[in-house]
Amino acid sequence: MLINLNINGKAYNNVNVPSLDMPLLWVLRDILGLTGTKYGCGIEVCGACTIIIDNQREHSCVFNVGSAVGKQITTIEGLSPAGTQNHPVQQAWIQNQVPQCGYCQPGMIMATEAARRAGHHGKEILSEVKHLCVCGTYQRIRQAVQYL
């Protein structure tokens, strides 16, 4: 089945997907090669797969690709052009040395950005970023959010 998607401001036309029920995460990673969005749990608990769709935070592991057609999708790759990491949230993460292994960080950064787009600040953002981090960098995440 061929569909059109708008991801990071770029049109992806005639994307061949096996089913409209396929999770968007697998289309991003396996079909389009946008591997910044990570797979963690597959049941909306860990947050590693968080992306922004029409300025709303979504878990791409359960968001089917059929529902993404006609929407504006932003992944971690879309925050900074050419991988420059100059987006304010990415800069806060760098300044506060948040990542250790870094696996969960794209999802946390995207959730933080979605909260910022909704006009939230400080503790409001922290209340929305309840992702799992095996490395336990929660203190540095709190510092980074306060840095924004």
Instruction: Check the CA dihedral 99-103-9-43 and report its sign.
Output: negative
CB atoms within 10 A of CB 128: 17
pLDDT of residue 81: 77
Contact 99, 105 (CB under 8 A): yes
pLDDT of residue 147: 82
Least confident of 11-15, 37-41, 70-74, 82-86: 82-86
Is pLDDT of 82 > 80?
no
Q: Return the domain boundaries, the chain.
A: 2-147
Is pLDDT of 91 > 90?
yes
pLDDT of residue 130: 83
SS3 string, 42-91, reads CCCCCCCCEEEECCEEEECCCCEHHHHCCCEEECHHHCCHHHCCCCHHHH
| Range 2-147 has CATH code 2.40.128.280 | no
pLDDT in tens, 99-140: 888 899 999 999 999 999 999 999 899 998 888 888 889 999
Residue 37's pLDDT band (cuts 50, 70, 90): very high
pLDDT > 90 fraction of the chain, expressed in percent and rounded: 82
Residue type, 80: S
Is pLDDT of 9 > 90?
yes
